A and B are shown apart, each in its own frame.
Chain A
């Protein structure tokens, strides 16, 4: 299948992926394509977009463009890290709970309990106990996502474990761990990839929310959330200060969700065709 045909059949994936690629490239190359996001130039404060400041400046005279580009780093990092942490931990717990029924009852009640904790409250609690850091934010957002992954994986395991090829493996002398890894784990990959994109999108939003509330990453690191927070007082005078991070946030979350939706359709069709 040529790339063009793939694009025509799966426009959502291609549009989303291109957007993400662009933002990722900008985030990685931030020091090369943007100036110092922390440089305070009081004389130049609240300037509208110009040749010198492409997206204007904020109330401290910092370059909004530079801050938006550097802010992408945090958003993407948090999105990817939260997706990775919650998928890896959730996968392990979900496989164990789904296959070994003795584990199931205990673990799932514990997961139900975890699901009841809102990410924002947990983050505020964790940040007030520790020093604010990206690590704490990732932990705080991942914890409430884990039970969702566990439930997803467990439901796949419960379906697959009843397949005759599992009985065949048991009767062929395969032990539990081998059955789980060789015969069950591969079936969880497709739904997990899709779930991971949704988790990444919601993690980016939650991180922005936490930064907005001041419970996120340390305030000296530019993020889209704390940019929006600090701009809200000047919205009437300098709308550009809120426009850049807000638009980027919406675009990135949209792009991740587009990729997720596209992947879901793509992987589902594949599965249906193969069956």
Chain B
């Protein structure tokens, strides 16, 4: 097997909740609690789950935009978990990010050329005509005109801005791009264009994606494998076809049943989950899903299920399935 572009083992991120003038820690939010996954070159792993389940945090931890509380992160085989900012810099170029908000993720005071050229300036010491040529090529590759480099970020539309964000991420020719809800802020028609651009780029350059999304329709289009997260943990991990055809975890079932189907006559059985997602500050005992699970039994309340392999490439964390 080829070496994964990124592998994380038992990744944890706890946020302390501090109160009062002494900043005493009164509680911890376990945003990510023991996530293990690996992404092969050229593969798209989708991370799905409802808001607040920690999927964006996983993306930021992998890029070391946050310091993990525990676990290990291996970027192309190198352990980068505890590297300081200076030691981390050479590794950053191999993993880039495309952000959710195409407005806030581009500095409104800079031109497109400066935004896309900044990573080149940092790593390849490119300047002047060389850099302009590279930036022009990048802009054209993502479907913008080369002259667009002289325009300011706020002069572009949402879809164009997201293309700019992709061009910036591509600049360093990374092996991995973390796309955090990269299309959820866009119109549906623009979403499809951007998704197709991402897939073309993958085919062309063998980029791996960690594609973070809550939209199962998008995930079905772009993903190879899918990891379902609930309250900071992966509850099911399987190839796309398996997840959609035969989900095992009751939470995955509920998510898929809740996804809208673009056919007004289609009737599906809705599985409506009761209640809200519990607080990550005080997660339920045993299986974290037992408070909302339609099939929970006594054992689920006391004993936490482990993520175990049930078939080739299919892992699930449930006492009752399969």
* Separation of A209 and B104 alpha carbons in the complex (Å): 47
Q: Which single member of B65, B85, B105 contacts A165 (CB below 8 Å)? A: B105
**Bitwise interface map of A from 153 to 188 toward B, beta carbon under 8 Å scored 1, else 0:** 000000000011101111111111010001100110
Query: B92 near A: Cβ within 8 Å?
Result: yes
Interface flags for B40-61 (1: CB within 8 Å of A; 0: not) read 0000000000000000000010
Name the interface size band of chain B: 20 to 34
B163 within 8 A of partner (CB):
no
B101 at the interface (CB under 8 A from A): yes
B159-217, CB < 8 A from A: 165, 168, 171-172
- State whether A172 touches B96 (Cβ < 8 A): yes
How far, in whole Å, are A178 and B65 apart by their CA atoms in the complex?
Answer: 17
Contact with A along B67-107 (1 / 0, CB 8 A): 00000000000000000010001001101110111001111
CB pair A171 B97 closer than 8 Å: yes
Query: A162 to chain B: closest CB distance in Å?
Result: 9
Residues of B close to A176: CB separation below 8 A: 85
Interface size class of chain A, counting residues whose CB lies under 8 Å from the partner chain? 20 to 34
Q: Shortest Cβ distance from A182 into chain B, in angstroms?
A: 8
* B168 and A173 form a contact (CB under 8 A): no
Cα A175 to Cα B86 in complex, Å, equals: 9
Known pairs A164-B99, A168-B168, A274-B154; A173 contacts B89 (CB<8 A): yes
Q: Which of chain A's residues have a CB closer than 8 A to the CB of B106?
A: 165, 168
Contacts of B95 in A (CB 8 A): 171
Task: Say whether chain A's binding surface is mostly helix, strand, loop, or mixed.
Answer: helix
- A167 near B97 (CB under 8 angstroms)? yes
B109 within 8 A of A: yes
The reply to whether B108 and A172 form a contact with Cβ atoms under 8 Å apart is no
Set of chain A residues within 8 Å of B168, measured between Cβ atoms: 168, 172
Q: Mark B258-286, 1 if CB is under 8 A from A, else 0.
A: 00000000000000000000000000000
Beyond A164-B105, A172-B168, A182-B110, 17 additional contacts (C-beta under 8 Å) are: A163-B104, A163-B105, A168-B105, A168-B106, A171-B63, A172-B122, A172-B171, A173-B93, A173-B119, A173-B122, A173-B123, A174-B118, A176-B85, A183-B107, A186-B109, A187-B109, A275-B108
Chain A positions within 8 Å of B, measured between CB atoms, are 163-165, 167-176, 178, 182-183, 186-187, 274-275
B interface, CB within 8 angstroms of A: 60, 63, 65, 85, 89, 92-93, 95-97, 99-101, 104-110, 118-119, 122-123, 154, 165, 168, 171-172
